[in-house]
Amino acid sequence: MSENPNLVELDITALAAGGRGVARREGKVWMVEGAVPGDRVLATAVRERPRLAEGHTVRILDQSAQRREPVCGVQGDCGGCPWMVLPEQDQRDWKRRVVLDSLERIAGLTDPPVEPVKPSPLDLAYRGKAEFSTGTDETGTVLVGFRHNRQPELLVDVAECPVIPETANRVLKEVRLMLGAPEEGGTVGLAGTRGRRLVLRQSAHDGGVLVIFRGQGREWAGPRRDMEKLAKTPGVVGVVALTGLPGRRGGVRSRLLAGRDHLVEALGGTLFKVPAATFFQVNPAAAAILVDQVVEMAGPVANGDPVLDLYGGVGVFGWALAAKGARVTVCEADPHAVAVGREGVGSPHHPTFACDDVGRFLGRGGPSQRPRLVVANPPRTGFGKGVAGKIAGLGSERVIMVSCDPGTLARDLKPLLAAGYRMIRLVPVDLFPQTAHVETVTLLQRG
């Protein structure tokens, strides 16, 4: 036992949703950042309640046999890839266990039909988007990197990142030089307070990179004199300034600085022109697995079958189902995503887009005809209030739920199960290797 009363020795036995190690001590459950099953660690609490403590690892006393050396030198401080110390198959096994635990504990299911996790085609260099904060070290040198895992007021300088593609890493080095950051990363300094961030987005379709200077309240356009030079850097297709506007619904203002203001992406057989501020899957190669699973779970689609795609974004699932002959309505609240979806190029059968909040859309009666199939891909927070009940009220034969959070999936399933739907299949997909995140595709059938 440690002599310091603020430090405790813990044996880590499991991993929890969110990626922290789990230990039990004197009737209390500990959730410990930086620890994996098999570790014996010295930990300190950052938050304690009567039966639960949240903490972080101060020192590993005995290392788990599962551990490996991470390929990133700042992995322990950056916090972006907490599971990089585990082999990928171990990561996927734990992700499946997290999904099972959520379904059993929250949804009350016994032995739910959860399949093995489908791996991402790439375990590294898969992220098409990376967002770097800016700051300075004690000498005033510019830093470009990620917030420190345990001290968010600090910034870990990053010269290259192993989970973004090679072209994006080359562009990162060019932009760092323009901003005055050191050639080598690894320095820790103060994070900036003006909300200035560098965002790199790379297309999986043609490899083009958008360089985005993101400001908050006031525009940040980077080193203005270098914009044309930056736009001519090999791999760069455009440079954009994005400014977050004040207020809860302030939105984002975009201004083209050089080149073009969008990426061209392909997913599910459809081409999309994606502007700098519009969401698109950051791992399109793995997202293609999601599309394939949705199309497979939809089953045979007769020509003109009505289908509803809720929280549809740019309509990736809607376009893929329309290509099969379905008459698809995509409901999405973000007007920028709707604009991108309407301009997609793929099947001659186009989905119809409704730019609306899903709850309001369903509350006004939703589609004119009862859909044979409902696809729902809500945000991490899950369905809005009453949405699950409204979906159940549509009486569709099948519901396919695409979720990025096992806990909210389990919560949203309960009213659908209570309304007479039963779970047929759940396929987890490893959309974000080296992290604790897991995407799921779930098929529900009525009756």
pLDDT digits (tens, 9 = 90+) for 158-198: 999 999 999 999 999 999 999 999 988 888 888 887 889 99
Q: What is the pLDDT of residue 1?
A: 47
Q: Are 235 and 170 in contact (CB under 8 A)?
A: yes
Average pLDDT over residues 299-306: 88
Total residue length of the chain: 447
Phi, psi angle pair for 92, to nearest 5°: -65, -35
Q: Is 90 helix (H, G, I), strand (E, B) or coil?
A: helix
Q: What is the pLDDT of residue 4?
A: 62
Q: How far apart are CA 418 and CA 447, in angstroms?
A: 11
E strand map for 179-300: 188-191, 197-202, 209-216, 236-244, 252-259, 262-267, 270-275
Q: What is the pLDDT of residue 248?
A: 61
Q: Which segments within 224-378 are labelled E, that is strand?
A: 236-244, 252-259, 262-267, 270-275, 306-310, 327-332, 352-355, 373-376
Query: Distances in Å between the alpha carbon of 78 and those of 45, 86, 149, 343?
Result: 20, 16, 5, 38
Read off the pLDDT of residues 97-135 as tens digits, 9 standing for 90 and up.
Answer: 999 999 999 999 999 999 999 999 999 999 999 999 999
Tokens representing residue 107 in the block = 């949804």
CATH class of residue range 90-121+283-446: alpha beta
71 close to 414: Cβ distance less than 8 angstroms: no
pLDDT at 366 over 90: no
Q: For the segment 62-105, what is each residue's pLDDT rounded down to a tens digit?
A: 999 999 999 999 998 998 999 999 999 999 999 999 999 999 99
Instruction: Report domain 129-266's class.
Output: mainly beta
Give the residue extent of every domain in the chain: 7-67, 90-121+283-446, 129-266
Q: What is the model's pLDDT at position 378?
A: 96
Q: How far apart are the first and last CA of the chain?
A: 56
Q: Does residue 287 carry a pLDDT above 80?
A: yes
Residue 281 counted as an annotated binding residue:
yes
Q: What is the pLDDT of residue 422?
A: 96
Cα-trace Rg, the chain: 23
Query: pTM of the entire structure?
Result: 0.93
* Domains 7-67 and 90-121+283-446 equal at CATH topology level: no
Class for the domain spanning 7-67: mainly beta
- The three-class DSSP label of residue 321 is helix
Distance in angstroms (rounded) separating the CA atoms of residues 414 and 372: 21
Pairing of the two strands 262-267 and 270-275: antiparallel
Q: Which of 320, 329, 323, 317 is nearest to 353 (CA)?
A: 329
Q: Is the pLDDT of residue 256 over 70?
A: yes
Closest CA to 401 of 382, 384, 386: 382
Mean pLDDT of the chain: 93
Residue 404 annotated to the active site: yes
CB 122 within 8 A of CB 164: no
Residue 389 confidence class, pLDDT cut points 50, 70, 90:
very high
Nearest of 69, 41, 67, 75 to residue 55 by alpha carbon:
41
User: How much is the pLDDT for 247?
Assistant: 65
Considering only CA atoms, which of 317, 278, 293, 309 is closest in space to residue 371? 309
> Binding site annotation covers 332?
yes
Closest-CA residue to 154 (of 203, 130, 189): 189
Q: Which two tokens stand for residue 72?
A: 């990133």
